Every structure is written in structure tokens, then in C-alpha cells.
Amino acid sequence: MITHHIFLGLGSNLGDKQKNIERAYRQIKKRIGKIVSKSAFYITEPEGFESENQFVNSVCEVATTLTAREVLQETQEIEKKIGRTTKSENQQYADRIIDIDILLFDNQIIEEPGLLIPHPRLHFRNFVLTPFAEISPNTIHPVFDKSILQLMSELSQTSSR
């Protein structure tokens, strides 16, 4: 059986946000695989929409024998189990009890209906890059051939202009 190393981004801005992410981590361990590492929790402002609710974000690395499509199905089931009822579409974002995104799946580039890996907005999101860099700064983004730390540095340079 092949073991894949994947990175997942988690976020919550409704209810007991840290508890929501901790519940998601328990489900990830049960349904997807062994959590190799996980970042601290980061408090961030919503991006892409207006909300009074700050987010708690975290990133984890998981060792799994599931395929990328199976991981997607499991993350969606975990979101439902925790209470998420709707998904963001066409970059129309809203408050959410839990959000789990597949950031990387090994060093693969996957472009299938409903499944894009690496996550297409990963390199634009400081709320993902910061916790990702905490646990795996030298992981290489397979499209840009740059480390997570390099992507984070480039994002901070462009946003400070």
C-alpha cells in the first residue's frame, strides 16, 4: 500500500472555533490517516468577505493510504458531521463552522472536476502559508517550484507595497 503525505488547511469562524478544529483533527485521524504534524492555531481576519467573526486556522500533515478523491470525500463528510451545511462556490465566501481544504497531495498536480491540487489559492493566503510554514517550511509547491517559506515571503512583499 502506498502512503501519501498530504497537507490540509482547517479554518473555523463560528461557534467554539478551536473545539471545531480539534473535532476535525480527531475525525481526520479516524477517517483519513495518521497526523504527522499540526500547526498552532492562528487567529485571522476573514478574507474575501465581510464578517464580525475572526477565524481560527491551522494546517496539518497527514500520512494516508487514501487517494486524493477519497481524501476529498472524507473531508467533506467530516465537515458535514461537524455541522457545515453549505460550501463556498465561485469564491463567494461566508461564515463557516469548519472548512477543510486539501493543500498538497504528495508533490502531485491534480486537475479533475471538483478537485484541484495544489489548492489554487494557497499561494495567496497568508492564513494558510503561515501555519504551513510553521510545520513544513521547506515543502516545495509543485507548480511554482518554490518552498512554502519562499511563497510566504513573496506574499508579504507584495502585500506590503
Question: What DSSP string describes 128-141?
Answer: HHHHHHHH-TTPEE
Q: Give yes or no for residue 128 having a pLDDT over 60.
A: yes
Opening angle at CA 135, ends 105 and 30, nearest 5 = 60
Residue 93 pLDDT exceeds 70:
no
- According to the model, what pLDDT value does residue 51 have? 84
The whole-number average pLDDT for the span 105-131 is 95
Q: What is the mean pLDDT of the chain?
A: 92
| 4-159 CATH | 3.30.70.560
How many angstroms separate the CA atoms of 40 and 56, rounded?
10
For residue 79, CA distances in Å to 2, 108, 134, 140 come to 26, 24, 24, 27
Q: For 58-67, write each residue's pLDDT tens digit.
A: 999 999 999 9
